[in-house]
Amino acid sequence: MNINIDTTEKEQEYLIVLDGELDLYTAPELQKVLDPIRQSGSHDVTIDLTDVSYMDSTGLGIFVGTLKDLNQHDRELRVTGVSNRILRLFEITGLRDLMHINEASEVE
């Protein structure tokens, strides 16, 4: 179980591109990247899940914590490239209504 994390800082936004599986074992790696960004509150955050093949509730927890911290600083969390399978997790938990989510293309 691996995850690759690529972070690009733009003027007012961090773009974080994930590749692999986001689960109990790999979530701490993403947490290490997001912690300083969340605490500074100076940038919006976009997380690209196009190449994420699997995500569990641990990954969802990271999104919730990030959203909460960013909202305290009037910043936004955007999630892009969400597959139908992962989108379903956001829908079941009600998180789809709380953050900006852009689905992946119809081809999966």
| CATH number for position 90 | 3.30.750.24
Element at 37 (helix H, strand E): helix 27-40
Query: Is 3 contained in some domain?
Result: no
- CB-based contact 66:77 (threshold 8 Å): yes
Q: Which residue from 65, 47, 53 is spatially nearest to 22, judged by alpha carbons? A: 53
Tens-of-pLDDT digits for all 108 residues of the chain?
Answer: 699 999 999 989 999 999 999 999 999 999 999 999 988 878 999 999 999 999 999 999 999 999 999 999 999 999 999 999 999 999 999 988 888 899 875 334
Q: Looking at the domain assignment, is residue 1 inside a domain? A: no
69 within some domain: yes
What does pTM read for this prediction? Answer: 0.90
Does residue 2 fall inside a structural domain?
Answer: no
* Helix locations, 1-108, DSSP H: 27-40, 57-72, 84-93
Domain assignment of residue 108, yes or no: no
Tally the domains of the chain.
1
Asked whether residue 5 is domain-assigned, the answer is no
* Tokens describing residue 79: 């999630």
Residue 32 belongs to some domain of the structure: yes
Q: Which amino acid is at 81?
A: G
Q: How far apart are CA 38 and CA 32, in angstroms?
A: 10
Please report whether residue 81 resides in a domain: yes
Domain extent at residue 29: 10-103
